Amino acid sequence: MSLVELTQIRKSFGPVEVLKGVSLKVEKGEIVAIIGRSGSGKSTLLRCINGLEQVQAGRILVAGIDVTARNADLNALRERAGMVFQSYNLFPHLDVERNVTLALKLVKKLDREAAGKVARDVVTRVGLAEKLHAYPDELSGGQQQRVAIARSLAMQPALMLFDEITSALDPELVGEVLRVLEGVAKEGMTMMLVTHEMNFAKNVADRVIFMHEGRIHEDGPAREILQTPRTAELGSFLSAVLH
């Protein structure tokens, strides 16, 4: 069984249908970049996968958990599927260490010491060991985003979802975050990431999905999709973002 299985999902906001029958399978260890125009439904797709949005039709299975079931245990699901947002969303009242340990203590039931150890490990992995006791507003955007990645990583999810996590950053801070992502990718994490960084998609992703008007318009190996688009829509999208 695939780690993620979407079958014909449909999602509307009021009268507007945003996802118009999306089917998709993601295998364990795969790194999938999702690209497409603004409003094509990329964020909505990720948010449906971890249950932040409810679909009107179709089925979503993640790590064996049926997200679309009426009584789905969404908290158990989210423990398995971490998500990092464009706007970091660190908890501003907690320092870096406690941002990471909060869910470890509450959800994973680790004691203080064990949680603290995990926090030090992941924060070191994203290169911020010396910022363990800093508060979010004392960090740059890039550092905050790295902490957000560490916080999600600490939960040891089976799948990580990233929604345009470099889009809010100053250009000179994008690189440090992408390098962290690359590191996570190398360790075999299954990742789905919405991104506008085409070079990153080409070099790090195994697979690229092009969303267009609420549907998956193209889906295939990263280099192939990005170098030889089959449809006019992808062609014009790529020339728009690359130039």
Partner 1 sequence: MIREFAGADVVYLLLAARWTVALAIMAMLGGGLLGLVIAALRIVPFKPANWLAILYINLIQGTPLLGQLFIFFFGLPLIGIQVDAWTAAAISLSIYAAAFFGEIWRGALQSVSIRQWEAGASLGLTYGQRLFYVVLPQALRVAVAPTVGFLVQLIKNTSLTALIGFVELTRAGQIISGATFAPLRVYLVVAVVYFVICFSLSQMSRRLERKLHVAR
Ligand X SMILES: Nc1ncnc2c1ncn2[C@@H]1O[C@H](COP(=O)(O)OP(=O)(O)OP(=O)(O)O)[C@@H](O)[C@H]1O
Contact positions vs partner 1 (CB under 8 A): 50, 52, 74-76, 78-79, 82-83, 85, 87, 89-95, 102-103, 106-107, 135, 151-152, 155
Q: Say if residues 181 and 200 touch (Cβ distance below 8 Å).
A: yes
Nearer to partner 1, 11 or 78 (CB): 78
Rounded Cα gap, residues 119 and 153, in angstroms? 10
- 69-99 b/e with 16+ CB inside 10 Å = b? eeebebeebbbbbbbbbbebebeeeebbbbb
- Which partner, partner 1, ligand X, Mg ion, none, binds residue 82 by CB below 5 to 8 Å per kind? partner 1
The answer to whether 42 contacts ligand X (rule: CB under 6 A) is yes
Nearer to Mg ion, 110 or 191 (CB): 191
Residues 41-100 that bind Mg ion (CB under 5 A): 43
Backbone torsion region of residue 13, taken as left when φ is above 0, otherwise alpha when ψ lies between -120 and 50, otherwise beta? beta
Site string (5-44) toward Mg ion, x via CB under 5 A:
--------------------------------------x-
The answer to whether 18 contacts ligand X (rule: CB under 6 A) is yes
The packing angle between helices 171-186 and 141-153, to 10°, is 20
The answer to whether 166 contacts ligand X (rule: CB under 6 A) is no
Q: Say if residues 59 and 66 touch (Cβ distance below 8 Å).
A: yes
- Which partner, partner 1, Mg ion, ligand X, none, binds residue 39 by CB below 5 to 8 Å per kind? ligand X
- Give the max Cα distance, the chain: 55
- In the chain, the amino acid numbered 181 is L
- Which partner, Mg ion, ligand X, partner 1, none, binds residue 131 by CB below 5 to 8 Å per kind? none
- Count of residues that interact with ligand X, criterion CB under 6 A: 10
Q: Which residues bind ligand X (CB under 6 A)?
A: 13, 18, 36, 38-44
